[in-house]
Structure 1
Amino acid sequence: MITTIISQTANVRDVQVETIGDRTTIFRSRTWDRLKFEIEYAQQKGTTANSYLIQSDKVALIDPPGESFTKIFLEKLQQHFNLASLDYVIVGHINANRMATLSKILEIAPHIQVIASKPAIKSLKEVFGQYTSQFHTPNHDLDLGQGHRLQFISIPTPRWPDGLATYDNATSILYTDKFFGTHVCSDTLWDEDWKKLDHDRRYYFNCLHSNQTKQVETILEKFSTFKSKYYAPNHGPVIRYSLSRLIYDYRQWCQAQQTKTFSVALFYASAYGSTTILTNAIAQGLEAQGVHPLLINCELATPEEITQVMENVDGFLIGSPTLAGHAPVQIQTALGIILNTATKNKLAGVFGSYGWSGEALDLIEGKLRDANYRFGCNTFRVCFSPKEEDLVKAQQLGSDFAQNLQKSKKNRPLTLPTNNINNLSSDRTEKALNHIIGSLCVVSFKQGEMDKAILTKNISQASFIPPGIMIALTQEQKTELLPEIGTSFVVNILKEGRNLRRYFSPSSINTINSFNELETKRATNDCLIFDQALAYLECTVEQITELGNKWLIYAMVNHGELLANTGITAII
């Protein structure tokens, strides 16, 4: 039964309601206008935000719409169902718009249980602290009764790391979240004229999935294990007549992306979503010039994944917010890996959003320039949330970067194997020093014949040529550790996952009795190197400056080594 169908010419928002299966109803929140300014809506054909209600012994709502439709959606839902009787809300992914609608639902039905992926639950608990006991990850099937047993499929991607799909055994409907949608608004519920949707489907794929094809292929394999009759996406018609064709198209489009001549990695982290939006816009610009973009969410990627990506791409851009004057730890870690592994013939770029100052972008750009990387674009920065004109500029930046990359590779020289290139392009000291950013360290020194050490995070790189570091110490620490110019010491950069830190205190000097169980060796300056560290630096005090109740120690780095080829730095 269809209720409330308003013609396109009315140019208003409404909710279309229809039964699509046993005890299963779709609520299509519709607009014929361009919903948002993001590139995926640029065709201006409107869109639908599809939500699904399963009314069995227990009642579940799948994917409530965003804030643009909250009011009309809840009004329509209440006309068909007493919302206070709702048992479950299942969320395929989380964003600020959906949280607005979920907040209203919780006000009406505060008893409901919310089912979402682990990353989504973490975000929800931060926003809705009073409801934390009602947020659950799907550790098993959910039985709604009368054959409606829901199975949950984790479908993380760089753009939606919290992705979750749902399969209902009773109706054989697979609720696919951001997969298989289109931004098209019409009265047509099903995909009868699916051939007419080819262009819109490809445009949707290009905007949302072309830069995460490896993850898409993995998810398609997961979907293939279910005997689905319908695909129920977040946007556009429900897929009934072209399931196999759409799977085939997605596989072909993924392959087409991966066979492109050049590829560029976009490493990013995003505090409030703004840098993610910029990342996607830049990826569109790269794609428009025939360059394959790879989106790497540094909050999820492992060091091994970052290293592998850098070995295979032709260029890279780093996108970062600025938090308390610094780049997030995940970006600092990725930058260290990139400086340690990326050859100098890869084109570089920097972009990001900030609230007040944007120092993180200057830091990243400075590190890359000091390491002699060539830039494919000027550093691009946006204050607060990007506006439509910012996204146009970001897309143009991606296009310019792609063109500069193609020009630089026209006469590509014969390349050496990766290991040889790394040995030639960066000496061992530079590789060790690249890990100092944001790291937790143990500074070891000698006082007479006594070995001593202290745990600290107050170390930063102060110069590049010659390499130098800056340490902040209290008066007591300065007097005992590094009393004068010419004093030698070793900075042991700790590795995450090892238990070195428990042997040391940040507030007092530690003597050999505290750490005599640890395996060590002597540096050339006779101070201790701890074998479980990630890297070490042999240093000599060059300058001592008093600053209030602190002392700043500038030291020359004489030598350094990596003690482990993989791993990330430990942080407090």
Structure 2
Amino acid sequence: MPVSSRQSITPGRLLATSEGASKGVGPEGPVSDHRTALIDPPGESFTQIFLEALQPYLAVTSLDYIVISHVNPNRMATLVKLVEQMPGVTLVCSRPAAQALRATFPNWDHRIRAVCPPHDTLDLGQGHQLQLIPMPTPRWPDGLCTYDPATRTLFSDKLFGAHLCSDALFDEDWRQLEGDRHYYFDCLHASQTKQVQTALDRITALSTQWLAPGHGPLVRYSLSRLLNDYRQWCQHQQHQTLRVALIYASAYGNTAVLADAIAQSLVQAGIAVESINCELSDPAYLAKAIEASDGIIIGSPTLGGHAPVQIQTALGVVLAAAKTKLVGVFGSYGWSGEAVDLLEEKLRDGNYRFGFDPIRVRFSPNQADFQTCQEAGAQFAQRLRKQKKKQASRQAITETQANRTEQAVGRVISTIGVVTTRQGDSHSGLLTTAVSQASFNPPGVMIAIANNPYAQRFLQPHAPLVINILKEGRTVRRHFSAQPQPGENPFAQVAHHPAQNGCLILDEALAYVECTVQSWIPCGDRWLVYARVDEGNVLEATGITAMQHRTSGRQP
């Protein structure tokens, strides 16, 4: 087991040692004759508690490295205390984090080790070569993940967490965590899905067995599911019909915090958001993102009475490429706040329509400022929908009659379900996006399934079936979306139990019906199966049935 103990009150505080284990702050201490790395010390609120818990370790070993996944003022307070106690320690971090530390603590230059992209290594001895992998995002441009191949543990910082604090070290009750994990993703990552997908691609290449996020329990029992959930949540954001480019720069972090609050409100309103830290983006990328967006929101600090050069460049791109898009501006300042005035003036001169009144926040935002940002995001989403509706009504319809027919057929919706059957002790499952009631007396259903050899096992006289009606938002369908390869068992990935007819009921289904096949006929590229309903039950009293919505009758 790569982690033996951890204080649940403080996220991600682990000692990685070359004795073959990553140890948390607990009663046992690491061997003293090997190099030791401390990964992610906590913020200022937990500094004293953490230092007290760390003392038993420091009494028997020296601390050689502190690996910092990202830097913020809150964490710097703890770093100061640690450096005071251990003047010989080396701080390991990404290049952007190193720049921030050197700017704040110039006398630390000799102790800072910046990671060279695309990755670097930190040798703790005895085969423990930590892989240091920069994972920059707009919100955390200094992001860094640490992977220990010896224990197959990935310290994932802001990825795969949940805003929970409990005594649970691992995710044994991972089903109870799904809602919190999704909410955490929406709050932190929904506006930076492109960078999250890049991170997922890099993580997939690792032979990871454990995830140690900065917040919430360690991921042991639901690793593959959580990785798949992250991909699905990223894809869901990309498939939203309305998109907003949220462009900002942030000198001290205050403007970034406002951007996060606006982004969260937009995501909650069903708008896809792409957060763009223009300090890290070139004009070509900005132009492409702006062109693909339906609305643009720009945030800027005021530095020396002006907007930063990167914001001025971004404003130029907006003014050159996006004459009909809804806009909004916000920003923080210390004294005068000219940057927000500049943005507003230039956009109004260009006859842009504003989705909310400009937001100006002096110094650090407070709770009232966050509420203002939340309301601004909701208002922007509402006005954006109204604008797009008006634009759509003005567009000329030039499709051919064939295209109109395909679109009309595409409006036919149907229930999504997983059909299970059995032949002896062998169980089979198949995803179908076309389930509907076919008769009332006796009750019967119609199922459309693909015309292929695998479907033959569902086309047997009087064959028993269970139709598991899926709930909107659940991810169980991915296990049955393709024909399993020899030796694969999709049921091993989902909780299930047998029905009275011996077929399998999926525990995550919204409802199920037990059926008996009565007849079937070939219909084009599908088999149309009619089955009599014998039994059924609702597994979850609340929830929306998963439906298949299509834009064209040519789509399966």
Q: TM-score, normalised by structure 1?
A: 0.64
2:29 is aligned with 1:87: no
2:260 aligned residue (264, 277, 280): 280
Contact preservation (8 Å) 1:349, 1:378 = yes
How far did 1:133 drift? 1.4
CA distance in 1, matches of 2:272, 2:150: 40
Contact preservation (8 Å) 1:2, 1:17 = no
Q: Deviations over 1:374-400 (max 9, x none)?
A: 111110111110001210110110010
Query: Residue in 1 aligned with 2:46?
Result: 69
Contact preservation (8 Å) 1:60, 1:86 = yes
- C-alpha RMSD of the superposition: 2.5
Secondary structure, counterpart of 2:170 in structure 1:
coil
CA distance in 2, matches of 1:17, 1:136: 20
CA distance in 1, matches of 2:211, 2:5: 22
2:253 is aligned with 1:253: no
Q: Deviations over 1:383-432 (max 9, x none)?
A: 1100012101101100100000001111325779xxxxxxxxxxxxxxxx
Query: Residue in 2 aligned with 1:42?
Result: none
Letter of the structure 2 residue corresponding to residue 350 of structure 1: V
Letter of the structure 2 residue corresponding to residue 379 of structure 1: P
How far did 1:158 drift? 0.4
**1:359 to 1:55, Cα distance in 2 relative to 1, 3 A:** farther
Letter of the structure 2 residue corresponding to residue 114 of structure 1: L
Query: Residue in 2 aligned with 1:232?
Result: 212
CA distance in 2, matches of 1:4, 1:171: 16
1:124 aligned residue (93, 101, 122): 101
2:369 is aligned with 1:405: no
2:188 aligned residue (208, 211, 223): 208
CA distance in 1, matches of 2:289, 2:300: 18
CA distance in 1, matches of 2:194, 2:256: 19
Secondary structure, counterpart of 2:360 in structure 1:
strand
Contact preservation (8 Å) 1:15, 1:76 = no
Query: Residue in 1 aligned with 2:403?
Result: none
CA distance in 1, matches of 2:275, 2:364: 20
CA distance in 2, matches of 1:177, 1:4: 15
2:339 is aligned with 1:360: yes
Secondary structure, counterpart of 2:139 in structure 1:
coil
Residues 94-109 of structure 1 aligned to structure 2 (within 5 Å): 94-109=71-86
**1:415 to 1:332, Cα distance in 2 relative to 1, 3 A:** farther
Secondary structure, counterpart of 2:377 in structure 1:
helix
Query: Residue in 2 aligned with 1:375?
Result: 354
Contact preservation (8 Å) 1:314, 1:346 = yes
Letter of the structure 1 residue corresponding to residue 328 of structure 2: G
Query: Residue in 2 aligned with 1:22?
Result: 20
Secondary structure, counterpart of 1:136 in structure 2:
strand
Residues 248-327 of structure 1 aligned to structure 2 (within 5 Å): 248-327=228-307
Q: Deviations over 1:149-183 (max 9, x none)?
A: 11111110000001110111211101101000111
CA distance in 1, matches of 2:317, 2:89: 44
How far did 1:372 drift? 1.1
CA distance in 2, matches of 1:360, 1:376: 18
Q: Deviations over 1:67-126 (max 9, x none)?
A: 110111011101233398110010111101111111111111111111100000000111
Query: Residue in 2 aligned with 1:345?
Result: 324
Q: TM-score, normalised by structure 2?
A: 0.66
Residues 445-460 of structure 1 aligned to structure 2 (within 5 Å): none
**1:103 to 1:203, Cα distance in 2 relative to 1, 3 A:** same
How far did 1:147 drift? 1.5
2:151 aligned residue (157, 171, 190): 171
CA distance in 1, matches of 2:315, 2:127: 51
Query: Residue in 2 aligned with 1:145?
Result: 125
CA distance in 1, matches of 2:293, 2:129: 43
Percent identical across equivalent pairs?
52
CA distance in 1, matches of 2:88, 2:7: 33
2:366 is aligned with 1:387: yes
2:55 aligned residue (78, 94, 98): 78
**1:320 to 1:282, Cα distance in 2 relative to 1, 3 A:** same
Query: Structure 2: any 5+ residue segments left out of the alignment?
Result: 397-556
CA distance in 2, matches of 1:275, 1:206: 19
CA distance in 2, matches of 1:245, 1:4: 24
Query: Structure 1: any 5+ residue segments left out of the alignment?
Result: 7-12, 29-51, 417-572
Contact preservation (8 Å) 2:300, 2:340 = yes
CA distance in 1, matches of 2:45, 2:351: 47
How far did 1:270 drift? 0.8
**1:174 to 1:17, Cα distance in 2 relative to 1, 3 A:** closer
Secondary structure, counterpart of 2:137 in structure 1:
coil
**1:27 to 1:264, Cα distance in 2 relative to 1, 3 A:** farther
**1:18 to 1:354, Cα distance in 2 relative to 1, 3 A:** closer
How far did 1:266 drift? 0.9
CA distance in 1, matches of 2:354, 2:13: 52
CA distance in 1, matches of 2:53, 2:368: 35
Contact preservation (8 Å) 1:326, 1:360 = yes
How far did 1:138 drift? 2.5
Secondary structure, counterpart of 1:409 in structure 2:
helix
Residues 415-426 of structure 1 aligned to structure 2 (within 5 Å): none
Contact preservation (8 Å) 2:15, 2:36 = no
